[in-house]
Structure 1
Amino acid sequence: MLTVKARAVDGPDKAFREAEIIRRDLDAQDVLIEIKFAGICHSDIHTAHGEWGPVNYPLVPGHEIAGIVTEVGAEVTKYKVGDRVGVGCMVDSCGECVNCQKGEEQYCLNGNVPTYAGVDKYGEPTQGGYSTHIVVTEDFVVQIPDGIELDAAAPLLCAGITTYSPLNHWGAGPGKKVAVVGMGGLGHVAVKIAAAMGADVTVLSQSLSKKEDGLEFGAKDYYATSDPETFEKLAGNFDLIINTVSAKIDIDAYFSLLSLDGTLVNVGAPPEPLEVNVFSLIGHRRSFAGSMIGGIRETQEMLNFCAEHSIVPKIEVISADQIDEAYERVLASDVKYRFVIDTSTI
């Protein structure tokens, strides 16, 4: 077993501290990855603060992992030492259920194994990417294309696939009007991907403070949701709305923006329930859907797509000593647009 450095939190109101954790010995199909960068996702904050249910502390978050393979198991065929790789939100699944067989491991009927705050097949708690190394079975590792730098690649392992998957599934492309709600870590990536797919993209944000960025990222229009006239002007306008906001919003107001047969997909995950008036849906055969991440195959597809279209998130690289400050800034919407930890500082 390998003892590695990490940053852990001991409770919902505790600060991050230096820690050491154990990574397992390599099984035949495992790879050891030296983590170079780890993105900070809003999910990390929800989990660290205990907002999504009980947490087995101490917790090492982080499921946006980019690094280098330093050792491989005896039967590994997909990767070799020196490869640039990534690990996202899950590190295992049953591999046998109908969803896993379809390449949709994120919806494993027996439950996938999350990268942190989960329990692996050995009965041990999983710990994430705020650390220097991780051991993962090769089937849950993806190749990072040479055209994407490792620091910028890290957020794609969650923010990238979380937005690519619904845009891909619901057919964002030429002739489709797509709205992105929120211009944060998820939203700004969604804008870039949807625009690269050929969709007509509009940003719906609380204010116009990030309008210049939104248009630069590929949006054709940008509206403030704090202005009631926005909802009147855009009523019935969109084929697809991607809601990236992890807070409670007036979801019925956004349903009014959907066209006939339009769909609103929630990828943000607020801790409190959203209230839905069914009449907001049935009047124009609208749909309300949810989407998590993508499977491993689709995650690799997303990375290749981003490399082909020169899509990278806008990041701010921080040291491990700045994690608590970064959390506070994310909650205050004071980041453009994703924090990434330089794990050499752990």
Structure 2
Amino acid sequence: MKQFEVKAYGTEAAEASLKQLSIGRRAVTPKDVEIDILFCGVCHSDLHTARNDWGGTVYPTVPGHEIVGRVTQVGSEVTKFKAGDFAAVGCMVDSCRECASCKKDLEQYCIPGFTGTYNSPDKYSGGRTYGGYSEKIVVDEHFVLKVPGNLNLAATAPLLCAGITTWSPLKHWKAGKGSKVAVIGLGGLGHMAIKLAKGLGAEVTLFSRTQAKEKDALELGADAVVISTDNSQMKSVKGKFDLIIDTVPYVHDMNPYISTLNISGTLVLVGYLGGLDPFLETTPMIMGRKSVAGSVIGGIAETQEMLDFCGEHNIVSEIEMINIQDINEAYERMLKSDVRYRFVIDMASLKK
């Protein structure tokens, strides 16, 4: 298949820093949209992939799946986009489109597996997909999203992962007016969970281990902050919440939070992958029909719904803009949670 070369930033080994690379992008096919990337958010998944923390990284790898840009070219069969439009790409660039999940607009649960924006087998090139730390990307129209015209483009980028990762469970478990939602952890995911739950009309509480995040949480729209290390505060919210969005990305004890769920309430894990330690104590779950569940991103239709909602309510991420040349330092800062609340790369810096 015909390709053209673009500049990108990626790494050739788990222990190597990210640096400028040259990668191939496919020439536009009839259903493709070519996008000049303006901004790309920086997600923990980018770091995990670059450093092979999850295993399975094929090098060289180019991360980035929170992409906002301008359409530069469209294929002959494209109907939704034209050159000059602003467009976005999230965590997926393809799926089988035939399985039961895909037919229900649940491409994120594609049974054979969706094609990730980076480090997935690329059916076009025969190699791997490359992400948004690059000048351009070419994506099938079905997986390209429209950006509401009123939103700040740079601050929109993290909606494509942090936004949809929290929106999907909020919608699935029907958060809205009259519901009580809690959020565990105030980072890239947590701050979006607060904004979106509040936008949906829910009463929102942040669980935090210390009081350091209290002021920020209230400014973001939380109605209350509960210090999870304070037993009296935890007892005061026993049986309160219909839904808890758990954004913590490492092993932690979930048992104290189960007691704060209402009858039939659900705690949804969106941040952590792996075994539980300590084990879940099932007695309060059984005695209150309480659930612990998991959720990952959202389908394309749901992601567009989220972007449109954010346009209507003027919701975007809180960001710190960086140049691509500072990505390695940004990764180190991200490991220390030293970002409020999402790094976004100004991709114009790649052209320097």
Smaller-chain TM-score bracket: over 0.9
Task: Provide the rounded CA distance (Å) in 2 between the counterparts of 1:17 and 1:228.
Answer: 47
Task: Provide the rounded CA distance (Å) in 1 between the counterparts of 2:349 and 2:65.
Answer: 18
> In the alignment, what sits opposite 1:6?
8
> In the alignment, what sits opposite 1:218?
221
> In the alignment, what sits opposite 1:255?
258
Report Cα offsets for 1:73-104 as digits up to 9, x if no partner: 11111110001000000000011111111111
Deviation at 1:272, TM superposition (A): 5.0
Q: Retained in 2: the 8 A contact 1:252–1:280?
A: no
Q: Retained in 2: the 8 A contact 1:7–1:320?
A: yes
Q: Retained in 2: the 8 A contact 1:245–1:270?
A: no
Task: Provide the rounded CA distance (Å) in 1 between the counterparts of 2:137 and 2:272.
Answer: 26
> In the alignment, what sits opposite 2:291?
287
Deviation at 1:13, TM superposition (A): 2.1
> In the alignment, what sits opposite 1:56?
58
Aligned length: 346
Task: Provide the rounded CA distance (Å) in 2 between the counterparts of 1:273 and 1:134.
Answer: 38
Q: Retained in 2: the 8 A contact 1:52–1:271?
A: no
> In the alignment, what sits opposite 1:306?
310
> In the alignment, what sits opposite 2:181?
178
Deviation at 1:72, TM superposition (A): 0.7
> In the alignment, what sits opposite 2:121?
119
Q: Retained in 2: the 8 A contact 1:176–1:199?
A: yes
Matches within 5 A, 1:187-336: 187-271=190-274, 273-274=276-277, 275-336=279-340
Q: TM-score under structure 1 normalisation? A: 0.97
Task: Provide the rounded CA distance (Å) in 1 between the counterparts of 2:107 and 2:284.
Answer: 32
Q: Work out whether 1:34 is the aligned partner of 2:43.
A: no
Report Cα offsets for 1:42-86 as digits up to 9, x if no partner: 111222221222210111000000000001111111110001000
Report Cα offsets for 1:256-283 as digits up to 9, x if no partner: 1111100001110245545323234212
Q: Retained in 2: the 8 A contact 1:178–1:240?
A: yes
Deviation at 1:12, TM superposition (A): 2.3
Q: Retained in 1: the 8 A contact 2:62–2:118?
A: yes
Deviation at 1:237, TM superposition (A): 1.4
1:140 to 125, 138, 143: 143
Structure 2 segments unaligned to the other structure (5+ residues): none
Deviation at 1:229, TM superposition (A): 3.0
Task: Provide the rounded CA distance (Å) in 2 between the counterparts of 1:320 and 1:215.
Answer: 32
Q: Retained in 1: the 8 A contact 2:258–2:267?
A: yes
Deviation at 1:206, TM superposition (A): 2.1
Q: Work out whether 1:79 is the aligned partner of 2:45.
A: no
Q: Work out whether 1:161 is the aligned partner of 2:164.
A: yes
Q: Retained in 2: the 8 A contact 1:34–1:70?
A: yes
Aligned amino acid, residue 62 of structure 2: V
Task: Provide the rounded CA distance (Å) in 1 between the counterparts of 2:100 and 2:282.
Answer: 31
Q: 1:139 to 1:151 in 2, by over 3 A?
A: same
Report Cα offsets for 1:164-217 as digits up to 9, x if no partner: 111011011111110001110010011000001010000012222121121111
What secondary structure, in the 3-state scheme, does the structure 1 residue paired with 2:28 have?
A: coil
Q: Work out whether 1:130 is the aligned partner of 2:133.
A: yes
Task: Provide the rounded CA distance (Å) in 2 between the counterparts of 1:262 and 1:249.
Answer: 20
Give the RMSD, CA atoms, in angstroms.
Answer: 1.2
What secondary structure, in the 3-state scheme, does the structure 1 residue paired with 2:33 have?
A: strand
Task: Provide the rounded CA distance (Å) in 1 between the counterparts of 2:211 and 2:288.
Answer: 29
Q: TM-score under structure 2 normalisation? A: 0.96
Aligned amino acid, residue 22 of structure 2: E
What secondary structure, in the 3-state scheme, does the structure 2 residue paired with 1:297 have?
A: helix
Q: Retained in 1: the 8 A contact 2:33–2:71?
A: yes
Task: Provide the rounded CA distance (Å) in 1 between the counterparts of 2:241 and 2:13.
Answer: 42
Q: 1:103 to 1:216 in 2, by over 3 A?
A: same
Q: Retained in 2: the 8 A contact 1:51–1:271?
A: no
Matches within 5 A, 1:101-116: 101-116=103-118
Which stretch shifts more, 227-236 or 167-176?
A: 227-236
Task: Provide the rounded CA distance (Å) in 2 between the counterparts of 1:205 and 1:218.
Answer: 15
Structure 1 segments unaligned to the other structure (5+ residues): none
Task: Provide the rounded CA distance (Å) in 1 between the counterparts of 2:222 and 2:50.
Answer: 33
